[in-house]
């Protein structure tokens, strides 16, 4: 039976949108499926305005399609790229602040210009399989449910939804209890300029937690710094515990609790913080931010040791530069482990290949790795770079009519 497209990409977040562009530019007919009415994933739906890890130790380590999108945003006034001295002096704090609304528009333009076919408001609800081989996906939208066939499918859903439905092995959470990191609802506050020192603000927060005025607030980590710089940025201060992002009931509870925490913090700011009497929430993220769910078990499972030692791989397809960043599933504290000076992490192509499943690639935070390794690799720039590799691999497969395991990895 013939195919409708060479490549289907499921999910239009940082990994998926770049994967679709890479595939189409290499001549593969490409369909991108996205459940929202816009692209960007956590950048736009999650209000993650800071794109991290394009640079390491004073040099840019990620280019290609991801960097071209950043440059286009910057040309339109929608991205602020830090001067080199900032990421030389403080490489861990370097990030590129972007306008999420403009990002939606630029992403549309880039995909249209690249010849990608897009279907918004559409979800992949099942896969078409023949033995171990994925031959397409079943999608559902306002038109109803239908099957779309392709030579290669890329799962860029973040949760590894397509791979899981295809029967791929996966793991979730930390050892030994399987608990996952808390989720966060980002929000933005306006009409508020705290006229108080950072130390005083932190003291007020601690007092309000003890008295119960912040009844549902569970995140002491960096709250003062976040709320002290409130205007024009998302606040990464809410924490919702014991949430499985692959469970609809948990997600429902998380969205409700995220809003509750956000408005509790708003009332606190209005009542106790000088300069914030007229504060208001100007924007809530479309969805809670999920730090981890499924990690597909691939041909290689990336480890913390691989990243912290800067291990090189013959089939490297992306670099990662961030710290091991694990928010305690119990709600208090963050574990951070840093790369040695001058080192970067490397990601092999085998992490994109689910074991025992053919013609399926994964990209984004569902790639194959341990709980600790994915705590470094889940950041935006890394996901975009992995997405580009997945798109290139998919196009090579379609062109040669080979499976992802069979292509020439040196050509990739």
Picking from 295, 175, 294, the residue whose alpha carbon sits closest to that of residue 244 is 294
Burial of 77 (0-12, 13-18, 19+ CB in 10 A): exposed
For residue 83, the SS3 value is coil
Residue 48 phi/psi, 5-degree rounding, is -85, 90
Segment 131-167, tens digit of pLDDT: 999 999 999 999 999 999 999 999 999 999 999 999 9
Separation in Å, CA 41 to CA 74, 157, 285: 19, 9, 11
CA gap 47, 247 in Å, rounded: 22
pLDDT at 269: 87
For residue 391, the SS3 value is helix
Q: Which residue has the tokens 């994925």?
A: 134
Segment 247-290, tens digit of pLDDT: 999 999 999 999 999 999 899 889 988 988 999 999 999 999 99
What are the average pLDDT values for consecutive 10-residue runs of the chain, which has 412 residues?
91 98 98 98 94 90 97 96 76 85 98 98 98 98 98 98 98 93 92 84 83 73 63 74 96 96 90 90 95 97 96 96 88 84 95 98 98 94 97 97 94 90
pLDDT at 223: 63
pLDDT at 217: 67
pLDDT at 212: 84
Is pTM, for the whole model, over 0.85? yes
Tally of helices (H runs) and strands (E runs) in the chain: 11, 20
pLDDT at 198: 80
pLDDT at 180: 95
pLDDT at 197: 83
């Amino acid at each position: 039976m013939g195919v409708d497209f060479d490549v289907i990409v499921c999910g239009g977040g940082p990994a998926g949108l770049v994967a679709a562009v890479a595939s189409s530019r290499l001549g593969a007919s490409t369909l991108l499926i996205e459940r929202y009415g816009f692209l960007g994933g956590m950048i736009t739906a999650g209000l993650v305005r800071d794109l991290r890890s394009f640079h390491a130790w004073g040099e840019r380590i990620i280019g290609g399609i991801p960097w071209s999108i950043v440059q286009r945003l910057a040309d339109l006034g929608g991205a602020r790229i830090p001067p080199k001295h900032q990421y030389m002096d403080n490489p861990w704090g370097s990030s590129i602040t972007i306008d999420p609304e403009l990002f939606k528009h630029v992403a549309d333009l880039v995909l249209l210009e690249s010849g990608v076919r897009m279907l918004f408001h559409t979800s992949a609800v099942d896969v078409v399989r023949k033995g171990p081989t994925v031959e397409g996906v079943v999608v559902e939208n306002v038109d109803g449910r239908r099957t779309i066939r392709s030579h290669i499918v890329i799962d860029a859903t973040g949760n590894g939804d397509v791979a899981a439905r295809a029967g791929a092995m996966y793991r979730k959470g930390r050892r030994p209890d399987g608990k996952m990191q808390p989720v966060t609802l980002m929000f933005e506050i306006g009409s508020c300029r705290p006229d108080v020192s950072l130390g005083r603000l932190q003291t007020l927060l601690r007092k309000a937690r003890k008295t119960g005025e912040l009844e549902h607030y569970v995140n002491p980590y960096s709250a003062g710094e976040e709320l002290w710089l409130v205007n024009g940025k998302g606040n990464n201060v809410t924490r919702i515990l014991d949430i499985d992002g692959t469970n609809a009931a948990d997600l429902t509870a998380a969205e409700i609790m995220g809003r509750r925490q956000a408005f509790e913090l708003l009332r606190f700011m209005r009542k106790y913080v000088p300069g914030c009497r007229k504060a208001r929430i100007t924007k809530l993220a479309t969805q809670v931010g999920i730090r981890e769910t499924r990690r597909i078990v691939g041909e290689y499972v990336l480890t913390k040791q691989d990243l912290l030692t800067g291990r090189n791989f013959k089939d490297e397809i992306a670099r990662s530069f961030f710290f091991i960043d694990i928010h305690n599933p119990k709600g208090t504290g963050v574990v951070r482990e840093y790369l040695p000076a001058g080192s970067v992490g490397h990601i092999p192509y085998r992490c994109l290949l689910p074991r025992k499943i053919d013609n399926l690639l994964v990209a984004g935070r569902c790639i194959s790795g341990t709980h600790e390794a994915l705590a470094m690799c889940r950041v935006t720039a890394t996901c975009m770079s992995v997405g580009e590799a997945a798109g290139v691999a998919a196009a090579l497969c379609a062109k040669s009519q080979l499976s992802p395991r069979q292509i020439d990895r040196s050509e990739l």
